[in-house]
Amino acid sequence: MELLPPDVLAFLIAFGFCAAFIDSVVGGGGLISLPALLWIGLPPHLALGTNKGAAVMGAVASFVTFVRSGRVNGWLIRRLFPLSLLGSVIGVLVVQQVSPDILRPLVTVLLIVVLVYSVLKKDWGRENHFTGLTTRMLVLSGVVAFTFGFYDGFFGPGTGSFLLFAFLMLGYDFLGAAANARALNFASNIAGVTVFAVLGLINWSYAIPMGLSMIVGAWCGAHMALKKGTGYVRPLFIAMTTVLIGKQIVDLLK
């Protein structure tokens, strides 16, 4: 591992903290951390892997925090976790062969649908109406977990928003949806970082200091969400989804 200059180290710590603070609640932290790694000179394929290597550390912190809070449905997540993990492994392997840009137009449209639906249904997600799952809904949830796991490994942007939206559709409030979404996102992060590491696409000299700051950022972000409640998560979710849409549109116009 190389010794980083103090200014680069400070840069990674600052951006890592900010990215994980937001990502721990509603996702979208990659919009902050990935550009930061590109700005300091890492090539795109190495930046993607290094970002995953750092992000998984923050994902552990937010996952543990939400589990301890009792907001994660352990019964459901134990069944969906392996599917999300498997989907992510396949996604990372497939993206080595196919450009992820083919998904960008579809993702932009879906994010717009998620945003419009969330804005128009003002009372949606304020209270927890989840009462359990039928067999049909459990199977459908499994398909969703695998699909978004694959998407996270293959492309990534918006995974947190999509997962949070999916749990809202099951009847959770915004805070409960955020907690369970982070649990599944943790699974896809584990799978992604494992495959990137095997392929030698993680620069640990950058990933470790950024990841350590992400642990702190994720812990702070998750505790802030638990303290402030649904009234804090909903506007943050809407704001980050809007930013994601803007980013995808800009990329489409390039």
This prediction's pTM: 0.87
Residue 228, number of CB atoms within 10 A of its CB: 13
DSSP track, 112-141: HHHHHHHHH-TTTTSS-------HHHHHHH
Q: Is 102 a member of any domain? A: yes
pLDDT of 158 reads 77
The SS3 assignment for 171 reads coil
For 12, the token pair is: 């990674």
Chain-centre distance for alpha carbon 193 = 13
Q: Is 1 a member of any domain? A: no
CB-count burial class (<10 Å; 0-12, 13-18, 19+) for 204: middle
The values of phi and psi at residue 229, to 5°, are: 80, -165
Separation between Cα atoms, residue 161 and residue 137, nearest integer Å: 20
Structural domain containing residue 234: 6-253
Reported as type and span, the H/E element at residue 56 is helix 44-69
pLDDT of 61 reads 94
Question: Domain count of the chain?
Answer: 1
Q: Is 106 a member of any domain? A: yes
Query: Averaged over 147-170, what is the pLDDT?
Result: 87
Query: Averaged over 167-185, what is the pLDDT?
Result: 92
pLDDT of 30 reads 84
Q: Which of 229, 246, 185, 166 is nearest to 24 (CA)?
A: 185
Write the pLDDT tens digit of every residue in 197-239.
998 989 999 999 999 999 999 999 999 999 998 888 989 889 9
Q: Is 13 a member of any domain? A: yes
% of residues, the chain, pLDDT over 90:
49
Question: What mean pLDDT value characterizes the chain?
Answer: 89
Q: Vertex 89, ends 83 and 91: CA angle to 5°?
A: 100
Q: Is 152 a member of any domain? A: yes
